[in-house]
Amino acid sequence: MADHFQLRLVDSRMLAPTVRHLAFERVDGQPLAFVPGQFLQIHFHYDDGTPTKRSYSVATVGDGSSPGVPVEIGRIEIAVSYVEGGAATKLLGELPIGGTVDASGPYGRFCLQAGDVHPRYLLLATGTGVTPYRAMLPQIEKLLAQGGREVVLLYGARNETELLYGEEFEAFAQSHPGFVFHGCLSRQPRAVPRPSDRSGHVQGVLAELAPDATRDIAYLCGNPNMVDAAFNALKEFGLPVPQIRREKYISSR
């Protein structure tokens, strides 16, 4: 059963014009044990008193535990998109340092799995759907160190200001030859384009990678339209459903 606890905001910064990175610690001082890829739920009330909740993937970069093994962290980081008129946006967008929120978790199975033996991982994301992959970086590093593995991250955004944690992924790619990062920009290219950039939506860039059922495991996280389109494209390339893992991010008021 998932824990229920209070979180205290200890740091925050803007990642993009409409996305805020928030760092919390548990008020009870306990670490959070989570498997990278899992999410928390933030509990609060609408103005009329009706209880509600929102889900946010944990973005914290933990240690290099093996896939499927929980990581203990003291600093719990999430990325929050601003939704015009959104109740969660009002709560988390205006939360001051030292402010507290009620939370529960972790939940979810959108995680790297120890039993996977396919040599290539295709990670697709849009928006804040990239946060679980940030948390997975130490596990990805461990996988790559074992040899015979490749990880490709296709990250879709409208322009370069919306590539959340983009510089972190770029730096990881430069220091880990088995990791490839493509920023897929659908509206506006960078002022100074990079060789790894791609134009268009992530599901459109998939064909360049020639997905193959004998080689690939795919992870899809973010906008439901992207997830559905990429899922269908991967099936057309012959990937069976068990080799395609999905997590949809739906904006709620």
Per-residue model confidence as pLDDT tens digits over 104-149: 999 999 999 988 989 999 999 999 999 999 999 999 999 999 999 9
Q: What is the pLDDT of residue 2?
A: 74
- Band the pLDDT of 251: cuts 50, 70, 90: low
Q: What angle do CA 83, 48, 24 make, to 5 degrees?
A: 50
> Tokens representing 64?
């290099």
- Band the pLDDT of 161: cuts 50, 70, 90: confident
Mean pLDDT, to the nearest integer, of 218-243? 96
Q: What angle do CA 215, 217, 221 make, to 5 degrees?
A: 150
Under a CB-based contact definition with an 8 Å cutoff, are residues 213 and 244 in contact?
Answer: no
Dihedral over Cα of 107, 108, 114, 120: its sign: negative
Under a CB-based contact definition with an 8 Å cutoff, are residues 25 and 114 in contact?
Answer: no
E-assigned strands of 82-234?
Answer: 100-107, 120-126, 150-157, 179-185, 198-199, 216-222
Dihedral over Cα of 43, 49, 51, 57: its sign: negative
If you ran DSSP here, which 8-state letter would residue 108 be given? -
pLDDT exceeds 60 at position 212 = yes
Q: Which of 226, 114, 134, 31 is nearest to 234 (CA)?
A: 226
- Mean pLDDT computed over every residue of the chain: 92
If you ran DSSP here, which 8-state letter would residue 160 be given? G
> Tokens representing 7?
């979180």
Q: Please enumerate in sequence order all residues whose Cβ is within 8 A of that of 210, keeping only pairs 6 or more positions apart, or say none.
A: 237
